[in-house]
Chains A and B, each alone.
Chain A
Amino acid sequence: MRIEETLRRLRDQTGDTFLLAVVRAGFGLLLLNEAWLATQQYSDAGYFGAHFHQPFLPEGLVPSAGVYQAVLAAQWGAAVLVLAGRGARPALLVAAGLLVYTMLCDRLWFHHYRHTMAAFSTLLAFAPCDRHFVLGRAANDTAGPLWARNAIKAQVSVMYLASAGSKLFDPEWRGGLMMLGMVKGLSQLMLRNHLPASLVAAMQTPLGGSLLAKGAIGTELTLAFALWWPKTRKLAIWVGLVFHLVISQITPVRLFTIEMLLVYLMFATPDTGARVVRYDPGRHSFATVIESLDWLRRFRLAPSAGAAFVVVDRDGEERRGLGALASVVGALPALFVAWPFVATLAAVASRRRR
């Protein structure tokens, strides 16, 4: 059966683990931020058990003030270990467990980004995410099992499907009433984030609300599947990037956006240095810019005096001019937002040459 074959392939896949380490380091920073937020709340408002809280757990399992301080210390410790790469994988499980425990001790602590942070951290703990960026240890370039990376990708799809599904089956959401109310409530924030006033006004009309709602539902449903299919993956990553960036501009949601952009890295093919940039160091000094922006190690630079600037893609195809530029822009995170426009220009230019 094809499904069984696919599941076996996803279970048994091995490959480069560099991107897993990048994601691990990113989650280390997010977990440090969580520990800082919790500590700040403790110092501002005091121990949460001393004022109204809403535990899921029986009150007897809610930590006392002293035990809660130990929980905070453990959150800091786990986050530091995750970032440092030492004992990172068990630390990811501990961090996830503490996040869930604190949310169960007080439902007021629940946020979707904390839930997803706990889920992703748990999955990451089962991935070989500690072979690069480890304090005091050289990188280990050997291939590792990537099944947990595939589970993280599946988690992303589950989230999009659940989120879109709940909106699709809610008539007020689907019809745009909720979006209308949300935009009205957040209009000042949007203006502070430099969205044009005319756009903010247009979003506050019934038509604007309806279009936003259907757009959001359609985007989430599409991303749940399009991120997996090789032919649509790159465009889906771009659409998802823009989708989450737009959400972060029109709502106070930031941490969830950062989380999603990190896990999107899991959809990039795990093959460092699979693309080659051939260039003449005397004429193509901009190649150093590619090197400095190649945070995900997508390229191997091959300088050669007198060489034409050529990007050899992972499929072996040589690209020049706009095609080469599109290849570069499509693989460097800092430039990726421009990729569809450059790729379109390259396609038009290629068609004209023929």
Chain B
Amino acid sequence: MLDLGARGRALFCVLFFGSEAVLVATAGMRSDRSYGFRMFPEASTIVVHVSRRLDGGRLVPIEGGRWQAHDCSGGVHSFRWGEMVRYPAPAQLDVPVGAPYGVESEVHRTRDALEWVAAHTPDDCETRALVARIEPRKNGRVLEPIDAEAAHAH
């Protein structure tokens, strides 16, 4: 099956390199530019600050990557951002983290991480939403901060 004849070889190469060409051409459409051989695209970092929006709209920053909250029965639970969001996603809050696939990729990861944490902390009945302020630095240049918010699932 793997020993192809002349026609099979030509067809295989057309399919294989055709797919490669499509992946390279469309890499810009993916936030991490994956499958496009864009090696070392940027020397960028982001700093992510996350706060919890409580009842009444009050914002409480998450400090040291940890917070405590009551569940719906009144029990107290501890949560750690870095336990739920692991490297190479932005696992550390309030410090610069590398963005090896670019600012857009790391912002995308942060937004998705926010949504994931908001959806996977059912024991936190106090938080109405998670709010992130992302401070990107692209190739050494400071960019405008980006705000993101994810509604809590409970």
> Which residues of A are in contact with B by a Cβ distance under 8 Å?
11-12, 45, 51-54, 89-90, 93, 103, 107-108, 110, 112, 115-116, 119, 122-123, 125-126, 128, 145, 147, 151, 154-155, 158-159, 162-163, 166, 170, 172-173, 177-182, 184-185, 251
Contacts and interface: CB of A to CB of B under 8 A. Distances in A.
Nearest to A113: B39
A151 B13 contact: yes
A11 B10 contact: yes
B97 to A, nearest CB: 12
B14 to A, nearest CB: 11
Contact of B35 (A115, A123, A125, A128): A115
A182 B2 contact: no
5 contacts: A11-B6, A103-B34, A158-B24, A162-B38, A179-B43
A147 B9 contact: yes
Among A103, A122, A163, chain B packs the most CB atoms within 10 A around the CB of A163
A145 B18 CA distance: 22
Interface residues of B, number: 43
A314 B38 CA distance: 39
Interface in B1-21: 2-4, 6, 9-10, 12-13, 16-17, 20
B123 to A, nearest CB: 15
A95 to B, nearest CB: 14
Nearest to A182: B43
Given A11-B6, A52-B84, A126-B4, A181 B113 contact: no
B139 A251 contact: no
B118 to A, nearest CB: 11
Contacts of A180: 43, 139-140
B89 A54 contact: yes
A51 B37 contact: no
A90 B34 contact: no
Given A11-B10, A108-B89, A185-B98, A151 B37 contact: no
A125 B34 contact: no
B13 A52 contact: no
A147 B9 CA distance: 8
Contacts of B10: 11
Given A51-B86, A123-B16, A110 B34 contact: yes
A116 B20 CA distance: 11
B79 interface: no
Contacts of A52: 84-86, 89, 112-113, 116-117
Nearest to B13: A151
A151 B16 contact: yes
A256 to B, nearest CB: 8
7 shortest A-B CB distances, which residue pairs?
A: A181-B43, A162-B37, A182-B43, A52-B116, A166-B38, A52-B85, A177-B139
Contacts of B34: 103, 107, 110, 115
Contacts of A126: 2, 4, 12
A325 to B, nearest CB: 36
B86 A45 contact: yes
A159 B9 contact: no
Nearest to A127: B2
